[in-house]
Chain A
């Protein structure tokens, strides 16, 4: 039986590249996001370029009450699901997100929605004693900074959730991998000032798929972000709180 992968939030540049890297090694795909028109375009593209089977359906991370039915229909189409990539995320306007009415949406999308669908995936894979869950978090979740702490808090919570899930599912042989991308050349970062060492989505997508062949649990992409964040995490708080970050 070939590989079959569910991509949640499949229209982002990183998700598209990850889907392409899976398709390039022959995996069947199930793409999910809110934007059906885009999903249809991406699905056609993957079928033509890689000759793989591609399904797609609408999925709204914030509409948690719909997740159970959604996941059932994924399994109806792909009973031998090998794994899940959680790629959705919402940055929004981080100035505006200081207002909780706006910030709540950031938390609902990046964390609450993720926790909801991941709980269903975990319950599915655990008794089968196989499968993988790849969660795309962010280096922004490693330390709170004034410029994006609402997004950072939601991604930080996602990182913790994935860590706990990894601990729970270890005994059943289900891989849980946390991906922490640094700056990637996507719509989220396009035109932002102060970016450096920006990676291409293609490179990140290929590396995400390659982590399955390695032992790593938490993967910074590209690798040097592990060291950048190591330094940032170790700046003492009395100094850190004075910094403009």
Chain B
């Protein structure tokens, strides 16, 4: 198959590495035909998870066919290169929805499995892998194997969250959830401090199927952690009669890189203050179309260019329930003290840990920060954040990561040894590897 050698990056545009890309168009061409290989769907992981410096990267975007849609049971089987956007376009008009969705619909089905992504409903519904009924894998020895929780279960749970390192995910069978219409019923609650914010998020009377909090990352002192808790659920027929449905926002684009100075503590502080007033002021429940509700940034193509051409790091970690408040507070204090602006700071609740051995979620609170790369000082700050996360028993999300150390990874992912035993069984020569796996020493000494 023809190979295109070129420089690519993840969504954070850091790091940029030279990789050999191949792009199959037929299902039969999904195979391992290089010394080492990693599959890449839409390249929406932030760091180096879908990079393979000087190695092979298999682009799956053209192997994206929807194969079987049972509209009675809500079961969809599709090739792993299909995006959530393509799937939503087919299922929403039929009254079905994704059981779990991340904050962008421009991700591949395979990527959702490999990163075991979560949404705003993890505390109720778990992560993506919990709704996958079966996978078809293309393994290192060239064989095609079906796996599910009941069949080849160990391969299944090593692949869910396994960052593409157990084999190529070829097909995914997913259980969908029923919806009455495409609208969301949303309610906002503002919190003037981190204490209030946690209070609201723990309040069962306020909580909804989807709950997320936006935090003003520039606030400090008594206002540290102020923000807006946003709750929502799929609207019922009574809540959203046909004629009252909200219209989706119009598409925008960031045509070129913003200059490095565009996002600074002053501009972000001003934006955050406005956003806090505007969103926190929406006290009455309101209807929103599902697109702007779940995917606000998808309306702005290439929004990653806002961070300038040096790129950015998204730092996402989870802190277990028992230490969550102290841990998140310590992280926000460290961030606010650094005067490094985070344009986005989002807090979500996570429910019980799933069975994916390298999956990120665990019961607790997850904080996500977007931090532009201005200088190496950022990496010093992130190392400090790692220490805080470790002290509080938490972990960092690999799908967002570009800079964690191998030692910290081992400490954060205690089920790694269990995962490695399965990896060694199905890929003994460690041929499915990526820049991320080599950086973190995942998969042993080969590769």
B28 an interface residue at 8 Å Cβ cutoff? yes
A11 an interface residue at 8 Å Cβ cutoff? yes
B423 an interface residue at 8 Å Cβ cutoff? no
Whether A41 lies near B2 (C-beta < 8 A) is no
- Interface pick from B62-70, B148-156, B341-349: B62-70
Interface residues as binary, B85-117 with A (CB distance below 8 Å gives 1, 0 otherwise): 010011000000000000000000000000000
Whether B67 lies near A13 (C-beta < 8 A) is no
Chain A residues within an 8 Å CB radius of B86: 49
- Interface pick from B19-27, B269-277, B297-305, B386-394: B19-27
Rounded to whole angstroms, the CA-CA distance of A44 and B22 in the bound complex is 25
Q: Provide the main secondary structure of the chain B interface.
A: mixed
Chain B residues within an 8 Å CB radius of A44: 65-68
Interface residues as binary, A23-67 with B (CB distance below 8 Å gives 1, 0 otherwise): 000000000000101100110110011000000000000000000
B217 vs chain A, min Cβ distance (A): 38
Chain A residues within an 8 Å CB radius of B22: 191
Whether B65 lies near A45 (C-beta < 8 A) is yes
Rounded to whole angstroms, the CA-CA distance of A30 and B327 in the bound complex is 60
Whether A41 lies near B79 (C-beta < 8 A) is yes
Chain A residues within an 8 Å CB radius of B66: 44-45, 48-49
Known: A49-B89, A190-B23. A37 touches B28 (CB 8 A): yes
| Interface residue from B21, B23, B27, B90 paired with A41 (Cβ < 8 Å) | B27
Determine the interface band of chain A, counting residues with CB < 8 A from chain B.
Answer: 10 to 19
Rounded to whole angstroms, the CA-CA distance of A11 and B24 in the bound complex is 12
Of A41, A44, A49, chain B has the most CB atoms within 10 Å of the CB of: A41
B254 an interface residue at 8 Å Cβ cutoff? no
Known: A13-B62, A48-B90, A191-B2. A38 touches B67 (CB 8 A): no
Known: A49-B66, A191-B3. A38 touches B26 (CB 8 A): yes
A128 an interface residue at 8 Å Cβ cutoff? no
- 13 of the cross-chain contacts (CB-CB < 8 Å) are A12-B25, A35-B26, A38-B28, A41-B67, A42-B65, A44-B65, A45-B65, A45-B67, A49-B66, A187-B23, A190-B2, A190-B23, A191-B4
B binding-site residues for A, Cβ under 8 Å: 2-4, 21-23, 25-28, 62, 65-69, 79, 86, 89-90
